[in-house]
């Protein structure tokens, strides 16, 4: 396979699918493009021609390259970031079943390279950690939207009350750039959680002010909850449940994707559920699911 723009675009999409921070996505793609430029100087034009020795040579090249922005050599952090980006790229190639190469160079641990997956048992402990109170009922709805429906962070934040169609057992997901609107089916348990929140917790919070809000998730100030506020609630539940893993909104989405594949759902069905534009994006979770099994 040739080293081209399409490959880097696909890598960028893979990173976004795994919910890497925008800054990490941008930097990773940039570092890989620099790596490609270096390979071109060696007249290496295919993935099959990249070997561990090639990576070692590139690592030494970075250590001796001058800093273009200021005097001196490249910083250790910059070099480490480069190598970590190539490691991500190698993992992307492997998980999307493309020709890949090994990166054996040891650098400072990259905390973002591993994606946390909770076990079904751990998900149950999160639900059990929800109290039978206004906030507890809302917490349960948060879990049901991000785990039960597998929504992305922004999709849950932008969810409006009118988007939750209880009679039809559907949630209408209005997505942003690069994704299409879709309907997500509700299981009976998820429907019950959202219904309880709407008619008990949310109704109570809405009574604090006369102005009606369209937002589905309301703060105690009767405003749309932001992503950080939602994450804080999940962190609180994880702490109460005694879960040691780093747990966030993206963790819930990754977990449901893995669990659905483990339960026997087809790749096409999970792809549609997650709102992926291609099966290649969903294939990532087949490797995660197999690893968990």
Residues belonging to the active site? 152, 177, 250, 253, 276, 285
In this structure, which CATH number among 1.10.150.130, 3.30.365.10, 1.20.140.10, 3.30.1950.10 belongs to the domain 5-95?
1.10.150.130
| pLDDT confidence tier of residue 283, bands split at 50, 70 and 90 | low
Q: Give the mean pLDDT of the chain.
A: 87
Full DSSP string of the chain: -B--HHHHHHHHHHHHHTT--HHHHHHHHHHHHHHHHHHHHTT--BGGG--HHHHHHHHHHHHHPBPSSSSSB--HHHHHHHHHHHHHHHHHHHHTT----------S--TTSS-----HHHHHHHHHT--SSHHHHHHHHHHIIIIIS---HHHHHT-BGGGEETTTTEEEE---TT---EEEE--HHHHHHHHHIIIIIIHHHHTTSSS---BSSB-TTSSBPPHHHHHHHHHHHHHHHT--S---HHHHHHHHHHHHHHTT--HHHHHHHHT-SSHHHHHHHHHHHHHH-
- Note the pLDDT tens digit of each residue in 82-141: 998 999 999 999 888 888 888 888 765 444 445 678 999 999 999 999 999 999 999 999
| pLDDT confidence tier of residue 176, bands split at 50, 70 and 90 | low
pLDDT confidence of residue 113: 43
- Note the pLDDT tens digit of each residue in 229-268: 999 999 999 999 999 888 999 899 989 988 998 888 888 8
- Per domain, the residue ranges of the chain are 5-95, 120-292
pLDDT confidence of residue 105: 83
pTM of the model: 0.64
Least confident piece of the model among 67-76, 138-147, 203-212 = 67-76
Regarding the domain with residue range 120-292, which homologous superfamily does it belong to in the CATH classification?
A: Intergrase catalytic core (1.10.443.10)
């Amino acid at each position: 396979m040739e080293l081209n723009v399409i490959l880097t675009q696909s890598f960028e999409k893979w990173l976004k699918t795994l919910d890497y921070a925008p800054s990490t996505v941008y930097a990773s793609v940039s570092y890989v493009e620099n790596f490609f430029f270096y390979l071109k100087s060696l007249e290496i034009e295919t993935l099959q021609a990249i070997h561990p020795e090639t990576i070692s040579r590139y690592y030494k090249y970075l250590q001796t390259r001058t800093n273009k922005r200021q005097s001196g050599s490249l910083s250790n952090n910059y070099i480490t970031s480069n190598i970590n980006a190539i490691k991500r790229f190698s993992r992307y190639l492997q998980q999307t079943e493309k020709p890949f190469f090994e990166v054996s160079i040891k650098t400072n641990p990259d905390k973002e390279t591993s994606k946390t997956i909770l076990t079904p048992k751990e998900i149950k402990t999160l639900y059990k950690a929800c109290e039978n109170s206004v906030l507890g009922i809302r917490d349960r709805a948060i879990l049901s939207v991000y785990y039960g429906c597998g929504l992305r962070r922004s999709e849950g934040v932008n969810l409006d009350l009118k988007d939750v169609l209880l009679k039809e057992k559907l949630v209408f997901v209005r997505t942003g750039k690069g994704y299409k609107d879709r309907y997500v089916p509700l299981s009976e348990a998820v429907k019950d959680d959202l219904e309880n929140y709407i008619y008990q917790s949310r109704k109570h919070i809405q009574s604090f002010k006369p102005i009606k809000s369209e937002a589905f998730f309301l703060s105690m100030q009767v405003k749309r909850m932001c992503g950080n506020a939602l994450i804080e609630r999940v962190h609180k539940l994880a702490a109460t449940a005694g879960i040691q893993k780093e747990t966030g909104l993206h963790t819930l989405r990754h977990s449901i994707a893995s669990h659905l594949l483990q339960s026997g759902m087809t790749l096409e069905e999970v792809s549609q559920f997650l709102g992926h534009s291609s099966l290649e994006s969903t294939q990532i979770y087949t490797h995660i699911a197999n690893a968990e099994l």
